[in-house]
Amino acid sequence: MKQLRLILLVFGALILCSTASAEQIKTVKKMDRHRPDNPYYSRVDTMKLNLPDGVWKKVLSPEVYAVARKKQTEQAFSGKLWDYNEKGTYYCAACGNALFRSDAKFASTCGWPSFFETVRKGSVTYLPDRSYGMVRTEALCGRCGAHLGHLFDDGPPPTGKRFCMNSVVLEFEPDKPGAKKGH
């Protein structure tokens, strides 16, 4: 009898645990942005994506695809964010990965949105880029590998870095009034 009570107790605890995690999942899903056109988009999932080009071509707009997957560069002073100064977070337009906070953005004269640091370690990854006869560092989304722009060493303090980004692959989300600073 004592054993049976123990088994029932363990079962009860297990059910409680599974309910809690199901609730957590529900909360995360509710917080996340649902994109019927892009099932890989998530602002909470940081798991790396390794998808073939054909999949990205289907789920991204032609403008985002051209920069994110074909490494094109938007014209200087043409993007929506180079001269934009609202408070909030910048996400990867291809996959929803958080990339930069507005307080790391600075007024650069180059005509592209520029930041001196990323929102967290690993949110951006780097590759040497020797295209067009130049030696540069390519900056890519740490989650989906989208081309974002380049990293230069002529930024302001405290890092001295300049993340020179294409507006079209960034998505801006303003801070909610009174909300704690995200990420």
- Residues in contact with Fe ion by CB under 5 A are 92, 94-95, 97, 141, 143-144, 146
Q: Which residue has the tokens 């001295």?
A: 160
DSSP characters over 13-82: HHHHHHHHHHHHHHHHHHHSPP-TT-TT--SS--------HHHHHHHS-HHHHHHHTT---PPTTTSSST
Report which residue type is found at 14: L
Bridge partners (DSSP) listed for residue 127 = 138
**Least Å from the CB of residue 92 to Fe ion:** 3
- Which residue, 119 or 144, is less far from Fe ion as judged by CB? 144
Give the Cα separation of 148 and 81 in Å (integer).
13
- Which residue numbers are catalytic? 164
